[in-house]
Structure 1
Amino acid sequence: MNIRLASVRDIEGMARVHVESWKSTYNGIVSDSFLSNLTLEKRMKNWKVIFDNLTQDEAIYVVEDLGSIMGFVHGGKSREPDFEYDAELYAIYLLKKVQRNGYGKLLFERFIEALKQRNYQSFMLWVLEDNPSMEFYKKQGGQYIGKKEIQIGENKLIEIALGWKEI
């Protein structure tokens, strides 16, 4: 297992993880019609845009095992002016087959180190209320700081904001 900075060469592997993890994690939470419309091609286009516009404030890491990308983390400057946190974890996803094996914790810790190197002092994230990973974030020290209703496909869902005051 290896954690390293992501590059444009990783777009296809990251897109695959993104689509597969959404389908496994959000099955029964997000509508089947929405999940069935997620495609590798669309997600690859989204990741290309992200890499084309990557700033020095952002960090993207992948975790590889046996030569394949098994997960990733992406974050940077907070996009949430309503909260007093200077950084944000935008996304962290792992393939179901490697979840609960320590990969998520290692990616999370690597992300925090990247934030420290960029002189961030705190960070937050949004997680769907029914996401089974909610407990993971709480175990890592995340504290409830707010919630909002969002629309994903035909579903209205609750997203919970968790924050880390000091990193």
Structure 2
Amino acid sequence: MNIRLASVRDIEGIARVHVESWKSTYNGIISESFLSNLTVEKRTKNWKVIFDNLTEDGVIYVVEDLGSIRGFVHGGKSREPDFEYDAELYAIYLLKEVQGNGYGKLLFERFIEALKQRNYRSFMLWVLEDNPSVEFYKKQGGQYLGKKEIQIGEDKLTEIALGWKGI
């Protein structure tokens, strides 16, 4: 297992993890019609845009095992003006078959190290209230900040914000 900075050559692997993990994590939370329309090809296009616009403040790490990408973390400057946190974790996903092996915690810790190197002092994230990973974030010290309603496909869902001060 290796955690390293992502590069453009990782885009397809990241897109694959993104799609597969959405389908496994959000099964029963987000409508099947929405999940069945997710494709690696569409996510690859999204990730090309992300890499094309990545700034010095942004960070993407991948976890690689057995020669392929098994997970990733992506974050950078906070996009949320309503909270006083300077950074944001935009996404962290692992393939279902490697969850529970400590990869998520290692990715999370590497992300925090990268934020510190970029002189961030705090960060926050949004997570679907029904996502089983909420407990993971709370174990990592995330404090409840608030919630909002969002729309994903036909579904109205609740997201909660968690934050970490003084990283």
Structure-2-length-normalised TM-score: 1.00
Please list the CA deviations of residues 47-101 of structure 1 after superposition, one character each: whole Å capped at 9, or x if unmatched. Answer: 0000000000000000000110000000000000110000000000000000010
Aligned residue identity for 2:154: E
Q: Secondary structure at the match of 2:159?
A: strand
Matches for 1:6-155 after TM superposition, within 5 Å: 6-155=6-155
Please list the CA deviations of residues 95-136 of structure 1 after superposition, one character each: whole Å capped at 9, or x if unmatched. Answer: 000001000000000000000000000000000000000000
Aligned residue identity for 2:166: E
Aligned residue identity for 1:11: I
Question: What is the alpha-carbon root mean square deviation over aligned residues?
Answer: 0.3
Q: Secondary structure at the match of 2:100?
A: coil
Unaligned runs of 5+ in 2: none
Question: How far apart, CA to CA, are the structure 2 residues paired with 1:94 and 1:86?
Answer: 25
Aligned residue identity for 1:75: G
Identity of aligned residues (%): 90
Q: Secondary structure at the match of 1:146?
A: strand
Q: Give every structure 1 segment of 4 or more consecutive aligned residues whose post-TM-superposition deviation is greater than 6 Å.
A: none
Q: Secondary structure at the match of 1:74?
A: strand
Structure-1-length-normalised TM-score: 1.00
- Displacement, 1:165? 1.0
Question: How far apart, CA to CA, are the structure 2 residues paired with 1:90 and 1:83?
Answer: 15
What is the number of equivalent residue pairs in this alignment? Answer: 167
Aligned residue identity for 1:50: I
